[in-house]
Structure 1
């Protein structure tokens, strides 16, 4: 998996910054069900979290929209996110059937 993550970072000119497997991401139930499109954004890591928020469909401000999940569970519950989670803070991704986009968003660094 590290090779795929490194390839994504190199393709988009991003620094390779893998996430600790015991750290957590915030993930929506729809992403856990494998719904597309799949979105992800990364804030700076803090307190045992990777800074990643991963969701499918429309974003929600509902405080229960995201639930914590350890990175090591992504392989089973949301494998489509794994290639992207070595992107550094300040990056986003969007994946849909036959579509992939990755871009830098410096606003994510100012939280």
Structure 2
């Protein structure tokens, strides 16, 4: 995946956490964005369907458990910070680099 999209290989640390909207994962498409890792997180935020700004939208999840909730995203998790992906159950895939994800918030 990394070679296909000209990304450095940045393997995720299975002991770090991601933000994942578990309740939304049955909705399509599934979106993932990787920000700069910080404060015990690997930088990944993953959700299904429309994004929400509600404070309870994301739940923390150790990366070692991602396969239980969203196995279809596992091939994308070594993409470097700054990458985004959108996939669905019908084979749609879009992957790109967004430098704004690396800017301090």
1:5 aligns with: none
In structure 1, what is the Cα distance between the partners aligned to 2:67 and 2:57? 21
- Superposed CA RMSD: 0.9
Task: Give CA deviations for 1:36-86 in whole Å, capped at 9, x if unaligned.
Answer: 210000110012101000000001110110000110101111111111111
1:35 to partner: Cα distance: 3.0
SS of structure 2 residue aligned to 1:10: coil
Q: How does 1:24-35 map to 2 (within 5 A)?
A: 24-28=17-21, 29-31=23-25, 34-35=26-27
Q: Does 1:84 align with 2:76?
A: yes
Q: Which blocks of at least 5 consecutive residues in structure 2 are unaligned?
A: none
TM-score (norm: length of structure 2): 0.93
SS of structure 1 residue aligned to 2:56: coil
Q: Which has a greater percent of helix?
A: 1
4+ residue segments displaced more than 2 Å: none
2:7 aligns with: 14
1:87 to partner: Cα distance: 0.6
Q: Which blocks of at least 5 consecutive residues in structure 1 are unaligned?
A: 1-7
Q: How does 1:1-111 map to 2 (within 5 A)?
A: 8-28=1-21, 29-31=23-25, 34-96=26-88, 97-110=90-103, 111=105
